[in-house]
Amino acid sequence: MNASTNDTVSTEVRDYVAGVRAALSDLTVEDVEEFTTGMEADLAERLAEQGEGTLRDRLGDPDAYAAELRSAAGLPPRVPVAPARTSAAEQLSTWWTGVSRSVLGQVPWLRDLRPVWWAVRGFALAAAPALVLGVPIIWLGLLGAMVSIALGLMARHGRLSGGWVGPVRVMGNITAVLLLPVALVMVVDAPDPYANDPTWAEPQYSSGAGLTYDGEPVANVYAYDESGRRIDKVRLLDQNGRPLKVSEDALTSADDMGDVDLMRDSRTGELDIARDVFPLRWNGRTGWERMYDREWEPPMAITPLPGPVPSVEASPTPSPSATPQATQTSPGAGATATPTPTPTTSVSR
């Protein structure tokens, strides 16, 4: 006989009887009692025999069982209940039962794959927390699969009881089916473990290093004085006394011919160019040439600033034939005033 003594009627049986009772709830109390007295014992005995599946597997759902019971007993089929009594969850449960029964009816061997479904549904259901938490699905998925298999085994051996088991199972199955594509996408699109590894990061522009203007790196500076003349080999200091310096990156990116890179010191790798003496020059350049891919060329002179122009003595290069009469009104003509040769008029003979 039954091995268990205290829990002689397993919870699965009680669960089933409760289901049948519910399906017969429109009958009188005596009728229901007539049917269900002894049902527990009979079902328990049925279950104790040949072990191939749960009571539901062997006998069908309690609803179907109750319907067969009524029809054999000559009682009318269940009066359709008022809509208010069938909650959405119950209707969903009924629909799912119908669908699964028809599917299993056509492909009966699917029943044997039930444990596989347990694992799959557990994995799929883990997609929801994985999405919310933003973690990879693989570990939650495995955990979910194990929990689901455990629950399935528990249900099969009758350790799960209570009215909540049925609806939760149905909702879980439906949710798992809906989440399955999501879970598959998450498995395929698993985040790249190297995404944030700095070793693999591409070198970035050191933004802000070196001289910039309006956020853009400056590669060269050309200076002109108030007369509009070029100033060569100029050094500029900021308000803190720091020499304005062009960054190596700005310089190398302005040079698309690779000349700048030739100026690297083979030992230290540093550019052997004075980056704070403007205009920058290297490799035989004067500094006043056009920068490589640009159309703009530094002019010989630019517009002088308004106002009186200082005397020529201020010019750094002394003029060999500077006449004392170099007046202040003469507009600066670029470089030192070249001595104008006294025109010799030759009378033609």
Partner 1 sequence: MRQEVLGIMDATQLVKGVLDLAVLAVVAREDGYGYDVVRRLRAAGLEDVGDASVYGTLRRLYSAGALTSYVVPSDEGPHRKYYGINAQGHAALASQSKTWAAFAGTMAGLLDEAGVKA
Q: Which residues bind partner 1 (CB under 8 A)?
A: 1-2, 5, 8-9, 34-35, 37-42, 44-46, 59, 65-66, 68-74
Give the nearer residue to partner 1 in terms of CB position, either 60 or 304.
Answer: 60
Give the nearer residue to partner 1 in terms of CB position, either 75 or 244.
Answer: 75
CA distance 62 to 54: 12
* Half-sphere exposure (Cβ direction) of 266: Cα atoms closer than 13 Å: 0
What is the nearest approach in angstroms of partner 1 to the Cβ of residue 108? Answer: 16
Give the nearer residue to partner 1 in terms of CB position, either 37 or 268.
Answer: 37
What is the nearest approach in angstroms of partner 1 to the Cβ of residue 42? Answer: 4
Give the nearer residue to partner 1 in terms of CB position, either 33 or 272.
Answer: 33
The 3-state secondary structure of 46-100 reads: HHHCCCCCCHHHHHCCHHHHHHHHHHHCCCCCCCCCCHHHCCHHHHHHHHHHHHH
Question: What residues pair up with 237 in beta bridges, in sequence order?
Answer: 243
Give the nearer residue to partner 1 in terms of CB position, either 70 or 121.
Answer: 70
What is the nearest approach in angstroms of partner 1 to the Cβ of residue 72? Answer: 3
10 Å CB burial of residue 326 (0-12, 13-18, 19+) is middle
* Half-sphere exposure (Cβ direction) of 227: Cα atoms closer than 13 Å: 19
Give the nearer residue to partner 1 in terms of CB position, either 71 or 330.
Answer: 71
- Per the listing, tokens 């003979």 go with 349
What is the nearest approach in angstroms of partner 1 to the Cβ of residue 46? Answer: 6
What is the nearest approach in angstroms of partner 1 to the Cβ of residue 59? Answer: 6
Q: Decide: helix, strand or coil at residue 307.
A: coil
The helix or strand, by DSSP H or E, that contains position 223, with its residue range, turns out to be strand 223-224
Give the nearer residue to partner 1 in terms of CB position, either 58 or 169.
Answer: 58
What is the nearest approach in angstroms of partner 1 to the Cβ of residue 36? Answer: 9
CA distance 174 to 124: 11
Alpha carbon 216 to chain centroid distance?
29
What is the nearest approach in angstroms of partner 1 to the Cβ of residue 110? Answer: 22
Closest alpha carbon to 44 in 85, 74, 3, 102: 3
CA distance 74 to 97: 25
